Amino acid sequence: MLPDNDVTLRREELGDALQLNPKVIHALISSGALPTMRRDGAEVVAAKEVERLLRDSLMRLYYTQATRAAVPVRQEEVEFELEPEKPVEEEIVRIAREPEPEAERPDLRLGARYIPRKQIGGLFREVKFAVLQLSNEGLRIRHSERIRPGEDARLSIAILTPSKSFVMRAQVVWTSIAQRGDEPSFYISGLRVTANVDRLAAALDALRAARELHLDESGQRRRVAAAQPPSLPDEEVVAIIRAVRRFASDPAEATRWYTRARFAVADDDVRRAAPRSAREREEVVGVWEYLQRRIDLKAVAGVVQWIRNSQAAAV
């Protein structure tokens, strides 16, 4: 950890210190990942902000690794790995279209997400937040103070109609920094309720009864569409699934390609085609690089999103 001081670096100094292409530094600053300040008439970056970016990126990587390693592999997927001699077309049909047991089939209605019509405030630990979106399992929030992926703490939300507070526990699934125009930067985070989830359901019922929520239909349509595999040749979908599995089973290999991805997004065309979310962009571009860029980047993003939503390649 860096000592408590106010060391700052100009863009070229930061590039030399991290041994990164100046285009990469420019992309990080332009995207808001690295906030800048003015000092002695020059634009500089605080060393503490660089440390924060690197630390948070590693935390997201570690959390992704731990989460995916914890997902059980179904028997048919083990057979898929052990039978490479089967035709590619047969392999992808088994993964993408074979009916799941009724108890395991995802119910898309459970994934409905709601947007508050009025501001709903709350606390995660001592961090104040505003609710941006709610579902039966968690929340998406906006806050000014930093929280870290993997943190599990007391969460409370307060509604006005009826006037009531709901207390539960939640875990930080992901977090990212954002900025609008010249406004101060802030954080957007996703939380999953880990205890007393019935209280979140009660809060949703109360808000719906008071007509304080509206259904996020655009998000629902995206999730329904993601339940079907993208329209790509079977061999390309299989290649992407195998790459995602490889990254999950070999963190060192994944880190190497995620590093390549950070260089790749310095290119304006790549950055425009890649997902906006930093945590998704790193994985998608890393898979794209691993596949030697032979599959369209937007197509790779679509397959990775489908994998995440349907668990077609649970790893």
Q: At what angle do helices 278-290 and 297-310 cross, to 10 degrees?
A: 120
Domains of the chain in sequence order: 8-66 (1.10.1660), 72-104+227-310 (no CATH), 109-216 (2.40.10.220)
Neighbours of 104 (CB within 10 A): 9
- Predicted pLDDT at 169: 94
| pLDDT per residue as tens digits for the range 270-284 | 988 888 887 788 889
Query: Minimal CA–CA distance to 310: which of 139, 107, 136?
Result: 107
Cα separation, 25 vs 307, in Å, equals 31
Neighbours of 65 (CB within 10 A): 17
| pLDDT per residue as tens digits for the range 60-77 | 665 555 545 444 444 333
* Lowest-pLDDT range of 32-36, 103-107, 237-241: 103-107
Give 311's contacts (C-beta < 8 A, 6+ positions apart). 71, 106
Any idea which residue has 């505003």 for tokens? 130
Percent of the chain past pLDDT 90, that is, above it, reads: 18
Query: Minimal CA–CA distance to 139: which of 191, 77, 87?
Result: 191
Residues in the chain: 315
- Predicted pLDDT at 108: 37
pLDDT at 139 over 80: yes
| pLDDT per residue as tens digits for the range 221-233 | 554 444 445 567 7
* Lowest-pLDDT range of 58-67, 158-167, 253-262: 58-67
pLDDT at 298 over 80: yes
For residues 315 and 245, is the Cβ–Cβ distance under 8 A? yes
Q: At what angle do helices 88-97 and 75-82 cross, to 10 degrees?
A: 170
The DSSP secondary structure of 237-283, one letter per residue, reads HHHHHHHHHHHHH-HHHHHHHHHHHHHHTTSHHHHHHS-SSHHHHHH
- Predicted pLDDT at 200: 92
pTM value?
0.40
